[in-house]
Amino acid sequence: MPKLTKKIVESTLPQDKDLILWDSEMSGFFCKITPAGKKSYFLYYRTQDRRQRRPKIGDHGIMTCEQARNIAQRWLLEVSQGNDPSGERQEQRSNPTIKELSEQYMKEYASRKKASTYKEDERLWKNNILPILGALKVSSLSKSDIARFHQSLQHFPVAANRALALLSKALNLAELWNYRPNHSNPCRHIKKYTEQKRERFLSQEETSRLIEALEMELQGKENIWAIYAIRLLLMTGCRRGEILTLKWDEVDLENQCLRLRDSKTGKKVVYLSTPAISIFRLIPRIKGNPYVICGDKEGAHLINLQKPWKRIREKIGLDDVRLHDLRHTFASIAVSNGLSLPIIGALLGHKQTQTTARYAHLIGQPLIEASEKIGGKIMGGK
């Protein structure tokens, strides 16, 4: 067979089966003509470990014979250097996109998380990550891609940081799943935005106002379950989900505690004060419903506290107070009464001491107030 040329390829007629036209000058370079008349260029070679490869270069008509020859020559040069252009192309085609990685992450990793955390991951993928990075290949994702992505969310620093952390975890898994080389995570060294920690604590006067308002709401018999839930949040320091999903068989009034089977930090015991126990004794038990805070549906718990909470807080001028701030208030009162951070951490169910440390700056306040009184006395004050 002579050297392949445009004239030879175009003048050769198809046969009953695939026809192979080998090039006489370049080893492994050939044109395949199918019975339907389709003509395509290929290169046959063996890798260093003697694996046979026959990658397609392209179709005649879309590229010329000489263009196909130039590509084949470049590939043969790569083979002589120990590379495998066909294997690399296959690997690139099989490498997932970020969207496909997110689906595998949610199925194989996030499925083991708590339902609330699963939903948060799902929301971050859908709203923040996939609209920007979803179409990119996992293997080609670079540090500059991550930097641009993070910067695009600069006006939402909390969401930007959460999305960055989620993406970093997914890319660590991508290394485990052989989609990227080890230690190649492009999220490394991307600096997170400074987050403004919102710490709102109710003063004693505000707390008294809230308790009084809750008493009045309870007397009005309007949505008693929401009122009991809010009172328990204030009196226990529990998270909202812990109170809304609390079951009566987790309430141990005899030993003055709640024995939660599940929480954000796993199993935990919540110790109850006498006022908190009094609230539990007031809450009616509904036959057939295992939950302390009952919902509208039979046998279910209350789902949403936001509407009644918004109405109550606006009524008493606490518009900026969130439900989670009741937990902060519980902690701040503990601090002001001289309890140590480890004790407060145990009461709140913190696993990490750093979480409780956010209240450390409050510890000095009672001492400052005492010092002021002493200073006033020394200066002759009453």
Query: What confidence tens digit (pLDDT) does each residue in 302-315 have?
Result: 988 888 889 888 88
What pLDDT sits at residue 84?
A: 84
Contacts of 12 (CB under 8 A, 6+ apart): 19, 21, 33
User: pLDDT tens digits, the chain, 382 residues: what are they?
Assistant: 689 999 999 999 999 999 999 999 999 999 999 999 999 999 999 888 888 888 889 999 999 999 999 999 999 998 888 888 876 665 555 688 999 999 999 999 999 888 878 999 999 999 999 999 999 999 889 999 999 999 999 988 989 999 999 999 999 999 998 888 889 999 998 999 887 766 677 888 888 888 888 888 877 666 789 999 999 998 888 888 889 999 999 999 998 888 988 777 678 888 888 888 999 999 999 999 999 999 888 899 998 888 888 988 888 898 888 888 888 888 777 777 766 667 767 677 776 666 666 666 555 555 555 666 656 665 665 5
Helices (H), 81-222: 85-94, 98-108, 115-124, 130-133, 143-152, 157-176, 204-219
Amino acid, res. 160: A
pLDDT tens readout for residues 168-211 = 999 999 999 888 888 999 999 899 988 776 667 788 888 888 88
CA-wise closest residue to 276 among 336, 230, 209, 217? 230
* Domains of the chain with bracketed CATH: 6-94 (3.30.160.390), 98-176 (1.10.150), 222-320 (1.10.443.10), 324-382 (no CATH)
Contact by Cβ (8 Å): 334, 344? yes
How many Å separate Cα 298 from the centre of its chain? 33
What pLDDT sits at residue 212?
A: 87
Contact by Cβ (8 Å): 170, 105? yes
What pLDDT sits at residue 361?
A: 58
What pLDDT sits at residue 51?
A: 84
